[in-house]
Amino acid sequence: MKAKGPFKAGTREAALWAQIDPAHLPRHIAIIMDGNGRWARRRHQPRLAGHRAGVRATREVVETCARIGVPVLTLYAFSLDNWKRPPEEVGFLMRLLRQYVRRDLDYMKRNNVRLRAIGRWEELPEGVRQDVAHALEDTAANTGLQLVVALNYSARAELVDAVRRLVDEARTNGLPTVDEATVAARLYTSDLPDPDLLIRTSGEMRLSNFLLWQLAYTEIYVTETFWPDFDSACLLDAILDFQSRERRYGGLSAEDTRAAVEKPRPARRVPNLRDPRLLTRS
């Protein structure tokens, strides 16, 4: 008997899921959630309405990743640069974050989702920091989807923090051998696989200071869809596109590798018809 799929039969999600190889899902999906403000503007609504709609999309994507078995999902929720926005908008985003953490904590506990935070989130306002810390502690033992939320995050700040750790350790224990593994071990994501797939919504073609080290070999998928409209079907579309690609990591494709190892046939020698030795003697 065929196992029941994670989506209702006859839906677009079920049709997309039927084309996906569950054994080769991305181990780690990272998402730059963009377009809340433009989504609201097109509907003649305030930007804050776009952020509220974005929370609904976040909830759906998290639930879908947990349902299909994606191991790690990282969401770019609030960057260090976002402090440049109007104070009213920043305050609203902080309140939304607290509401999301409080309301969805129950879901995360029931569905074995572990919440994690990266960035300088300890510098957030006290109430936000306390809610996040409580959720991190309450889900720390969960073994399902790891939901990583980038809060007060900047990739350049992450690299600065990694260098600071190296300097502090050098003062105590001497300078260690500095190589890629040394730096990677001191990043916020040191115990996580690098993202296999980066999704950016709203059509923007930039990384916006997000996971710059970790995205070195990540497949990038950009969609014109604004984040509030990004749903389970959009996520499955991105995964399907990811599975159609061949990842080379700087090497050769399978076809090029075969061509490189095959011995070339010796060139056929064409006789020189002007060679007097080939002329018929009379």
The sign of the torsion formed by the CA atoms of 192, 197, 203, 208 equals: positive
User: 24-183+191-254 domain in CATH 3.40.1180.10?
Assistant: yes
Please report, in angstroms and rounded to a whole number, the separation of the first and last CA atoms in the chain. Answer: 86
The DSSP 8-state label assigned to residue 149 in this structure reads: E
How far, in Å, are 27, 32, 82, 196, 273 from residue 202 at the CA level? 24, 9, 17, 20, 67
Who's near 209: CB < 8 A, 6+ residues apart?
Answer: 79, 80, 81, 154, 155, 156
> Closest Cα to residue 97, out of 115, 77, 83?
77
pLDDT for 277? 57
What are the residue ranges of helices labelled H in the chain? Answer: 12-17, 36-42, 47-68, 87-110, 126-139, 155-173, 180-184, 232-243, 254-261
Active site residues: 34, 82
- List the chain domain ranges: 24-183+191-254
pLDDT tens for the 282 residues of the chain, in order: 445 789 999 999 999 999 999 999 999 999 999 999 999 999 999 999 999 999 999 999 999 999 999 999 999 999 999 999 999 999 999 999 999 999 999 999 999 999 999 999 999 999 999 999 999 999 999 999 999 999 999 999 999 999 999 999 999 888 778 999 999 999 999 999 999 999 999 999 999 999 999 999 999 999 999 999 999 999 999 999 999 999 776 665 556 656 656 656 555 565 555 655 555 544
pLDDT for 176? 78
Rounded-to-integer distance, Cα 96 and Cα 105, Å: 14
Who's near 31: CB < 8 A, 6+ residues apart?
Answer: 61, 73, 74, 75, 76, 198, 199, 200, 201
Q: C-alpha 239: how far from its chain's center? A: 11
